[in-house]
Amino acid sequence: MRRIEGASDMSARLRPADDATASPALEAEYRRVRDATLALCATLAPEDTVVQSMPDASPAKWHLAHTTWFFEQFLLAHCVPGHRRFREGWDFLFNSYYQTVGPMHARPQRGLLTRPTLREVVDYRGHVDDAMCTLLRERGDDHDVMERVSLGLNHEQQHQELLLTDILHLFSLNPLQPAFREALPAPKAEPVTLKFIAGRHGIVEIGHAGDGFAYDNESPRHRELLHPHAIANRCVTNAEFREFIDAGGYRNPAWWLSDGWDAVRREGWSHPLYWDDMLETTFSLGGRQAIDPSAPVCHIGFFEADAFARWAGARLPTEFEWEAMAQDLPIEGNFADSGALRPLPAGAGVGGGAQPLQMFGDVWEWTSSPYVGYPGYRPATGALGEYNGKFMNGQWVLRGGSCVTPAGHVRATYRNFFQPAARWQFGGLRLARDA
């Protein structure tokens, strides 16, 4: 697959504006994000983009097509009178879960779509991009257009992360253990001593404050009562999780929630996903590598994170405790743009233990909070209202982004969510405790 060069390097947040000067910036941001998705696929062969490794994952080709369908469905078909779709029937193939739009191809069968070909999907992207840029030049200052484009670009960045997690899972099943990309050397860092930092307590404001883009599940901003507590200055490391394993953590039901223990026995878990049974190496986007004892433990589900916290005499933070800690911190960290594409050890000497490290990037941090709506939450009307609200059932909140999250995509109020047994995402944990 060819890489598209020359994308504009913009990091400004998209915001609705009342003047036409927003149009060139919006078009440049659109091209930057869209080009970044194709650039992620530059090292993939066409065969890599077709296969689906499990029902929860999607082929790279499907990601490329679905993100394009999103713009065609919710921008071009909505805003351009008489818009003709690129191919009839593709709306059925590449709709994900928008029931109000129409029927869709079954998710577990996406890997059976050898046709359309990868070349046709890339052409589809080019066709829609040309039409979108025309729309942005003509109506880029329109409030409705700007809001939909902003949602579409953030949606695409979510799929950039999913594309990487899905490729990692796919490649891990190949006996040849291929690398997605050559691994960069890990920086040298002394282990950071685990310390607990007092968190904010009392009444705190939680949720999106209305400045810049946010998903609807980050609102309304509201008040929460936090009791005295403390949160660890860094994420739990591989070495610390190894102690849990060596202590029989996966063999002792005392540390596990009932459903979690059932999953341990049913799935045969004995270590994080991608670790070898000798507990020496892990599979990564750079191929199989030695486990870095100082790096954050990764590819564990909520059940494992919760069990470790209980074993350690602590607990997981609530999402409100986490957000209150993160609100005033710069959104900096090891994101996908660093090129590492794996969690890295916490920076030695940074903050002297008084400032939390790794709050953004490296690993998504499981919290103890179920994914539900905030007080007063109402999903948007129409198909776009299906984006988040319909998943508020049986899932748990993660915060902070990961090493495969695009830089600039997360904020302190960002709420990710997955089912508690999900392990193929870049999930880790940070400890908390009552004060």
Please report whether residue 336 resides in a domain.
yes
Q: If you write DSSP's letter for every residue of 250-270 in order, what string do you get?
A: TT-GGGS-HHHHHHHHHHT--
Please report whether residue 178 resides in a domain.
no
Q: What confidence score (pLDDT) does residue 127 get? A: 97
Whole-angstrom Cα distance, residue 275 to residue 44? 24
Please report whether residue 261 resides in a domain.
yes
Is residue 165 domain-shared with residue 219, that is, in the same domain?
A: no
Whole-angstrom Cα distance, residue 412 to residue 31? 26
Please report whether residue 6 resides in a domain.
no
Please report whether residue 62 resides in a domain.
yes
Is residue 249 domain-shared with residue 389, that is, in the same domain?
A: yes
Q: Is the pTM of this model over 0.95?
A: no
Please report whether residue 267 resides in a domain.
yes
Is residue 144 domain-shared with residue 273, that is, in the same domain?
A: no
- 402: domain CATH number is 3.90.1580.10
Is residue 165 domain-shared with residue 40, that is, in the same domain?
A: yes
The amino acid at residue 324 is A
∠ Cα 282 245 425 (to 5°):
45
Residues 6+ positions from 290 with CB-CB distance below 8 Å: 280, 281
Q: Among 106, 138, 172, identify where a domain stops.
A: 172
The average pLDDT across 339-346 equals: 96
pLDDT in tens, 203-240: 999 999 988 999 999 999 999 999 999 999 999 999 99
Is residue 277 domain-shared with residue 143, that is, in the same domain?
A: no
Q: If you write DSSP's letter for every residue of 138-205 in order, what string do you get?
A: HHTT-HHHHHHHHHHHHHHHHHHHHHHHHHHHHHHTSTT---SSPPPPPPP-PPPPP-EEEPP-EEEE
pLDDT in tens, 14-70: 333 333 344 788 999 999 999 999 999 999 999 999 999 999 999 999 999 999 999
Q: Is the Cβ–Cβ distance between 395 and 419 less than 8 Å?
A: yes
Q: What confidence score (pLDDT) does residue 353 get? A: 53
Domain with 125, as residue range(s), is 22-172
Query: How many structural domains comprise the chain?
Result: 2
pLDDT in tens, 350-385: 444 578 999 999 999 999 999 999 999 998 888 888
| Rg (alpha carbons) of the chain, rounded to whole number | 22
Please report whether residue 41 resides in a domain.
yes
Please report whether residue 184 resides in a domain.
no
Whole-angstrom Cα distance, residue 409 to residue 407? 6
pLDDT in tens, 381-394: 888 888 888 999 99
Quickly tell me which residue has 């540390």 as its tokens.
Answer: 255
> Hey, what are 405's tokens?
């999250």
